[in-house]
Each structure stands twice: as C-alpha cells, then as structure tokens.
C-alpha cells in the first residue's frame, strides 16, 4: 500500500450566491481516503478566475494524505 496519496479537487464558485458549490465533493474525497486508513497531511490551494460562459472563480485544492 502507498505511504502517501496526492489528489486534486477543483472547487467551483456557486452560479448564484457566494461560496463553493461542491464542498460535498471535497468532503467525500477526504472521507474516502480516511476509510482507507489515510489522514489528511497537507492541503494547499491556488485560485484562478474562469473567463468562459457561466465561469466563476476556481480554487484548485491539492491534498496530501498519509497512511496511518
């Protein structure tokens, strides 16, 4: 089994209102890795604006999980 797992999740701004529209996806990724015996070791984020139709700000979250 791998000692570390690195995953990326893109958080998208809600079409209407503020905040992220897919925090449940991030939560699901974290819980899925926890169920496999990993803990969240590090998380980093980078933001970027999307200029396309119905685009909004995006946050790219990189998560590093460590086997416990």
pLDDT value at residue 22: 79
Helices (H), 1-68: 23-35
Q: What are phi and psi of 38, to 5 degrees?
A: -105, 150
The 10s digit of each residue's pLDDT in 8-62 is 998 887 655 555 667 889 999 999 999 999 999 999 999 876 665 555 678 899 9
Of 43, 31, 36, 32, which Cα lies nearest the Cα of 6?
43
Instruction: Tokens for 67, please give them.
Output: 């086997």
Higher pLDDT, 53 or 1: 1
Burial of 61 (0-12, 13-18, 19+ CB in 10 A): middle
């Amino acid at each position: 089994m791998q000692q570390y797992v690195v995953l990326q999740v893109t958080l998208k701004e809600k079409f209407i209102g503020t905040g992220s529209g897919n925090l449940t996806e991030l939560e699901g990724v974290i819980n899925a890795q926890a169920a496999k015996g990993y803990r969240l070791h590090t998380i980093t984020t980078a933001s970027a604006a999307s200029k396309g139709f119905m685009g909004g700000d995006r946050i790219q979250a990189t998560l590093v999980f460590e086997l416990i």
